[in-house]
């Protein structure tokens, strides 16, 4: 089979990955700017393909998960013009094989469902909680083959930016950690670092404990840009899967 272009279009960034029957290749990240033109996106994708040594004619399909509606027609036009194929959008013309029990199923982000599908097809445990540390922090609950619902919380980076922009003396700070033991900070940067990383980890642990009262012994999977940092100090995250959404998108395409 040929190459499949995978797009995970989020509110802040769009991840792009080439996949084939051997699985996922290298991932690339571009800023999500719906105001860009289809040609702008196409030329950037062509540069990625050139770096990977792949010709446009080698691309047989484009599969997309998107939570940015203004971006969708641009991607559709770009894939048609540059690769001569129709864009397959998860949840629309690319089925997601999960029972969606949300009150308004059409309101669930495709990225959440695709991540849940990946976790469902990967793990044997009946009850799963899929946590995505993105622009927002989301906890998605899966029981059997059903997406039951979840929680939406502030994102780590958006919280960091809000603190830096809304205060006079609080600087932006990196969220790297050097120890999995909480200590009080002795500088403003340390105070922010410890408060944000351990604060979000404690929030996750507490929420998983609460959800566990309704889900027997859930297996907790984390993905997203800062999942590694938070998981390092969380007591309830069982496994990290940085490419969980891309894996689910590929599974959805491969199993259709």
Choice among 20, 111, 174, 238 that is catalytic: 111
Residues 148 and 186 in one domain: yes
Q: Which two tokens stand for residue 17?
A: 């990955």
8 carries an active-site annotation: no
> Is residue 106 one of the residues assigned to a domain?
yes
Residues 103 and 84 in one domain: no
Residues 105 and 82 in one domain: no
pLDDT of 40 over the 80 cut: yes
Q: Report the alpha-carbon distance of residue 233 to residue 240 in Å, rounded.
A: 13
> Is residue 256 one of the residues assigned to a domain?
no
Q: Which two tokens stand for residue 82?
A: 């540059």
Residues 6+ apart with CB under 8 A from 246: 6, 8, 15, 17, 19, 24, 27
- pTM beyond 0.85: the answer is yes
Give the tens place of pLDDT for each residue, 161-171: 777 676 655 66
Domain that holds residue 211: 99-242
User: What per-residue confidence (pLDDT) applies to 178?
Assistant: 77
Give the tens place of pLDDT for each residue, 212-238: 999 999 999 999 888 888 999 999 999
Least confident of 30-39, 208-217, 245-254: 30-39
Q: Are 132 and 245 in contact (CB under 8 A)?
A: yes
Total domains in the chain come to: 2
Residues 143 and 60 in one domain: no
Residues 6+ apart with CB under 8 A from 8: 14, 15, 16, 17, 65, 111, 245, 246, 249
User: What per-residue confidence (pLDDT) applies to 211?
Assistant: 97
Give the tens place of pLDDT for each residue, 104-115: 998 999 999 999
Residues 146 and 127 in one domain: yes
Strands ordered across the beta sheet of 13-20: 23-31, 13-20, 3-9, 59-66, 87-89
Residues 120 and 223 in one domain: yes
Closest CA to 76 of 28, 7, 10, 171: 7
25 - beta bridge partners? Answer: none
Instruction: Determine the average pLDDT of the residues in 83-100.
Output: 94
């Amino acid at each position: 089979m040929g190459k499949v272009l995978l797009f995970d279009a989020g509110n802040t960034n769009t991840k792009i990955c080439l996949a084939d029957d051997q699985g996922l290749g290298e991932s690339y990240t571009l800023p999500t700017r719906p105001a860009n033109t289809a040609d702008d996106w196409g030329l950037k994708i062509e540069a990625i393909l050139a770096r990977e040594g792949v010709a446009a004619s080698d691309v047989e399909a484009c599969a997309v998960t998107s939570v940015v509606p203004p971006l969708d027609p641009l991607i559709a036009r770009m894939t048609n013009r540059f690769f001569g194929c129709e864009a397959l959008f998860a949840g629309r013309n690319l089925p997601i094989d999960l029972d969606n029990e949300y009150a308004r199923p059409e309101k669930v982000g495709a990225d959440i469902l695709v991540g849940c599908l990946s976790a469902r097809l990967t793990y044997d445990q009946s009850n799963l909680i899929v946590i995505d540390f993105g622009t927002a922090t989301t906890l998605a609950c899966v029981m059997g083959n059903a997406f039951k619902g979840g929680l939406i919380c502030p994102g780590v980076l958006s919280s960091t930016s809000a603190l830096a922009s809304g205060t006079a003396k609080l600087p932006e700070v990196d969220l790297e950690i050097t120890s999995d033991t909480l200590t009080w900070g002795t500088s403003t940067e340390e105070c922010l670092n410890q408060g944000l990383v351990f604060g979000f980890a404690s929030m996750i642990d507490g929420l998983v404990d609460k959800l566990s009262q309704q889900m027997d012994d859930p297996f907790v999977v984390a993905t997203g840009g800062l999942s590694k940092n938070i998981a390092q100090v969380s007591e309830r995250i069982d496994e990290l899967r940085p490419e969980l959404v891309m894996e689910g998108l590929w599974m959805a395409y491969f199993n259709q």
